[in-house]
Copies of this chain bind each other. A is one copy, B any other.
Amino acid sequence: MSSRKQIAVVSKASGDAIDAVSPVPLHTQIREVLRRRILDGSYAPHSQMPSESQMMEAFGVSRITIRQALGDLQKEGLIFKVMGKGSFVAKPKAFQSLSRLQGFGEAMAPSGYETYSLLLSARQVEASQVVAARFGLRPGEAVFEIQRLRYLNREPISVDVSYFPPAIGERLVQEDLATRDIFVILENDFGHDLTHADLQIEAISADESLARHLGTDEGAPLLRMERMTYAGEQPLDFEFLYYRGDAFQYRLRIERS
């Protein structure tokens, strides 16, 4: 390569605003911005990322904050650093970080693949007819909705729309949903004992929104799952999962222990 031209985008030109007064920590916001840039290709695999001091300036925070964000990404295996040179985007690899596929994927992936999630939204909403019925609520009562876009080996693989009782949802959003399995959080951190799940499956066509997220054509075949997970009698987690039809085989074991 020749001269020093810009390495990559640093400024917050796009919708990656950092909010200093937000309740979510700066390093978390920055980590997610960087994760998005990696997953959407702004930072290509093997390319060098901006230096820590460049990011300091670009985001307007101190170096310790940048380092926290980068350190998190490094521990996930999304980037690697070389002392004296800089930070680089890691090449997606199978046989690295297993364990991240949740439930469905857990049973599905015989070996390990790299998986991450992008948080699309997380908010309290009024329960729709279907959701209310599943939780034994009245339509319009509050439930917590979390939408995520899941990646398998750096490719978008599914859109997950999950509903939780408000109390659980509030706590979930404080966790690291990008890399941790919701099942594991529920079991480990919250102490819920997941017992079983009911599910149903069908095939649908991608609408505009799903197609955009999953990078398929509109109308492409998707696998749609509806799954309610229980801890004993208590309904905990109701999910709609939209999997890319061309990327998944269906093989599943529902029992969990």
Chain A positions within 8 Å of B, measured between CB atoms, are 75, 77, 80, 90-91, 93, 95-99, 106, 112, 183-184, 187-189, 256
CA distance A187 to B97 in the complex (A): 13
Known: A75-B75, A80-B189, A96-B188. 11 other contacts (CB 8 A): A80-B188, A90-B188, A93-B187, A95-B106, A95-B183, A95-B184, A95-B187, A96-B99, A98-B98, A99-B99, A99-B112
CA distance A75 to B90 in the complex (A): 19
CA distance A96 to B112 in the complex (A): 13
A99 CB → nearest B CB, Å = 4
A188 CB → nearest B CB, Å = 6
One complex includes copies of this chain to the number of 2
- Within 8 Å CB of A75, what residues of B? 75
CA distance A80 to B106 in the complex (A): 23
CA distance A114 to B146 in the complex (A): 28
CA distance A97 to B97 in the complex (A): 8
- Within 8 Å CB of A256, what residues of B? 95
A51 CB → nearest B CB, Å = 20
Asked if A97 contacts B99 (CB within 8 A), the reply is yes
CA distance A90 to B189 in the complex (A): 9
Across the interface, name the chain B residue whose C-beta is closest to A107. B111
CA distance A225 to B93 in the complex (A): 28
- Within 8 Å CB of A184, what residues of B? 95-96
CA distance A90 to B187 in the complex (A): 12
22 contacts between A and B (CB under 8 A): A75-B75, A77-B188, A80-B188, A80-B189, A90-B188, A91-B188, A93-B187, A93-B188, A95-B106, A95-B183, A95-B184, A95-B187, A95-B256, A96-B99, A96-B184, A96-B188, A97-B99, A98-B98, A98-B99, A98-B112, A99-B99, A99-B112
